[in-house]
C-alpha cells in the first residue's frame, strides 16, 4: 500500500533530523623517533657551541641599577660583585661633592672579559635618592629613565633601516638597598618598589648586614618578605614568570628563604688562614664577604650572575619592554612611534 501524504512528510522530516556521519578529524602523524646511533651522528648538538662562539665574538650587554640612600655601600657592593672598580669611588662623597638636591642618574660603562666572553656592563647609579627631607615622588626620575631606555630601543626597532644589532641600554636589574634598621620598611621603600616593580626587575638587598646579629637578620628578612607580600609588591623572580616545575621549585626557594639578600660589600683584601679574601676588618675579627656563614653576598652574586643573568635579560625583553611597547603602540592608535628621521622629514615638509 502506498504511503499517504502525512506519512511521507514524517519520513522527510525524519531524514532531515538524522545527522550526517561526522568526518573524523585528521590526526597529525607523530614524528618518528630516529635512532641516531643506527644512522650515524648528525651534529644537532653543535648548535650550543655555535651560539657560544657567536656570543664570545659579539659579547653581550648587562645593565644594572643601584638604588638606595647614600652611605649604604651601593658602589662598594657593585665593585665587589664584578671584582673591579666599576662603580664610582666607594669612599663616600668628596668634600667638594655635596649630596644632590634631586635624584641624579649616572651611568658608567665598562667592558669586562672573562674566559674569552665579553660583557658590556653599565652600572646606573642614583645619587640623591632618599637623602632629602622631603622624598615625595623621588622615584619618578628613575622610572622616567627606565622608560626612556625602552623608548630608545623601540624607536631603533621600528626604523626602516634598522641596525643589525640594536644597542641595549634597557635596565635589566635594579638592586634596591634596604637600610639595616631591623624595624619595618620605610614608606619610601614600599612606594618605590610598588611603582617600579611594574617596569623593572627589582632585587631587594639588605645593606651592611654586619650591623645586625644573626637573630636580628633572620627576623628582619622575614618581616621584609611579609611587608612586601601584604603590600602586593612582586620582586624578581616573579611567580607568574616561572616557566616550569623546575623553575618554580628553584625560585620558590629563593623567594621564601634568600630574599632579601643580607649582604656586606668590600673591595679590601685581607689574609685569612693563608688565603687572600675580600672582607671588612672589625675589632673582633674579619668579616669575609664570600663566606656564607658571615653574609649572603655569594648567594646574591651566584643568583645575579651565575644562574639568572640570562633570565633577567629575557624577562626585561619579553615582559617589561613588551608591556611598554604594547602600551605605546596602543596609545598611538596602533602606529609605531615617530622615529627621529621621520620627525625631521615631517618638519621639513611643513
Evaluated on CA atoms 177, 181, 185, 191, the torsion sign reads: negative
Query: Is it the case that residue 36 has pLDDT exceeding 60?
Result: no
How confident is the prediction for the chain on average, in pLDDT?
82
Residue 180 lies in a domain: yes
163 in Cβ contact with 60 (< 8 Å): no
Alpha helices for the chain (secondary structure H): 5-17, 36-39, 46-58, 74-81, 140-158, 187-196, 214-230, 245-253, 297-301, 309-315, 322-331, 340-349
Model confidence at 55, pLDDT cuts 50, 70, 90, reads confident
pLDDT given for residue 122 in this prediction:
92
For residue 189, the enclosing domain spans 58-89+97-264+290-332
Residue 246 lies in a domain: yes
In angstroms, the CA 109 to CA 111 distance is 7
In angstroms, the CA 43 to CA 6 distance is 75
Query: Is it the case that residue 56 has pLDDT exceeding 60?
Result: yes
Residue 230 lies in a domain: yes
Mean pLDDT of 202-216: 89
Residue 315 lies in a domain: yes
Residue 275 lies in a domain: no
Model confidence at 30, pLDDT cuts 50, 70, 90, reads low
Residue-wise pLDDT for 149-160, tens only, equals 999 999 998 888
Mean pLDDT of 224-249: 89
55 in Cβ contact with 105 (< 8 Å): no
Burial of 129 (0-12, 13-18, 19+ CB in 10 A): buried
Residue 8 lies in a domain: no
239 in Cβ contact with 215 (< 8 Å): no
Residue 320 lies in a domain: yes
Model confidence at 197, pLDDT cuts 50, 70, 90, reads very high
* Phi, psi for residue 38 in degrees, rounded to 5: -80, -40
In the three-class reduction of DSSP (H, G, I as helix; E, B as strand; rest coil), residue 102 is classed as coil
Q: What is the DSSP letter of 198?
A: T
Q: What is the domain-level CATH number for residue 208?
A: 3.40.50.300
pLDDT given for residue 91 in this prediction:
43
Residue 15 lies in a domain: no
pLDDT given for residue 325 in this prediction:
94
The three cell numbers of residue 144 are 622616567
Query: Is it the case that residue 147 has pLDDT exceeding 90?
Result: yes
194 in Cβ contact with 228 (< 8 Å): no
Among 274, 242, 235, 280, smallest CA distance to 258 is for: 235
Q: What is the DSSP letter of 61?
A: E
Per the structure, how many domains does the chain have? 1
Least confident of 70-74, 311-315, 332-336, 343-347: 343-347
The structure's pTM equals 0.80
Amino acid at each position: 500500500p502506498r504511503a499517504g501524504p502525512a506519512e511521507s512528510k514524517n519520513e522527510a522530516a525524519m531524514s532531515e533530523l538524522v545527522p550526517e556521519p561526522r568526518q573524523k578529524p585528521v590526526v597529525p602523524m607523530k614524528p618518528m623517533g630516529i635512532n641516531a646511533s643506527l644512522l650515524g651522528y648528525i651534529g644537532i648538538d653543535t648548535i650550543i657551541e655555535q651560539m657560544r662562539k657567536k656570543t664570545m665574538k659579539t659579547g653581550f650587554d648587562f645593565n644594572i641599577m643601584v638604588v638606595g640612600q647614600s652611605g649604604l655601600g651601593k658602589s662598594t657592593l657593585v665593585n665587589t660583585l664584578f671584582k673591579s672598580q666599576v662603580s664610582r669611588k666607594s669612599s663616600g662623597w668628596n668634600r667638594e661633592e655635596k649630596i644632590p638636591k634631586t635624584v641624579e642618574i649616572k651611568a658608567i660603562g665598562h667592558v669586562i672579559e672573562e674566559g674569552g666572553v665579553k660583557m658590556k656592563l653599565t652600572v646606573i647609579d642614583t645619587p640623591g635618592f632618599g637623602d632629602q627631607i622631603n622624598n615625595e615622588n623621588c622615584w619618578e626620575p628613575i622610572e622616567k629613565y627606565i622608560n626612556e631606555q625602552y623608548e630608545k630601543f623601540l624607536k631603533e626597532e621600528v626604523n626602516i633601516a634598522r641596525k643589525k644589532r640594536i644597542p641595549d641600554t634597557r635596565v635589566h636589574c635594579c638592586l634596591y638597598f634596604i637600610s639595616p634598621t631591623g624595624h619595618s620598611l620605610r614608606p619610601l621603600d614600599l612606594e618605590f618598589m610598588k611603582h617600579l616593580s611594574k617596569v623593572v626587575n627589582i632585587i631587594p638587598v639588605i645593606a651592611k648586614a654586619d650591623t645586625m646579629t644573626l637573630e636580628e637578620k633572620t627576623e628582619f628578612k622575614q618581616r621584609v618578605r611579609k611587608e612586601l607580600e601584604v603590600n602586593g609588591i612582586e620582586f624578581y623572580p616573579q611567580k607568574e614568570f616561572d616557566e616550569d616545575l623546575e623553575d618554580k621549585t628553584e625560585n620558590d626557594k629563593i623567594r621564601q628563604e634568600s630574599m632579601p639578600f643580607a649582604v656586606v660589600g668590600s673591595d679590601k683584601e685581607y689574609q685569612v688562614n693563608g688565603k687572600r679574601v675580600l672582607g671588612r676588618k672589625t675589632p673582633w675579627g674579619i668579616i669575609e664577604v664570600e663566606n656564607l656563614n658571615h653574609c649572603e653576598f655569594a648567594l646574591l652574586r651566584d643568583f645575579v650572575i651565575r644562574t639568572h643573568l640570562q633570565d633577567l635579560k629575557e624577562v626585561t625583553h619579553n615582559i617589561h619592554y613588551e608591556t611598554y611597547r604594547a602600551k605605546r603602540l596602543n596609545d598611538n592608535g596602533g602606529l609605531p612611534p615617530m622615529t627621529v628621521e621621520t620627525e625631521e622629514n615631517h618638519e621639513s615638509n611643513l
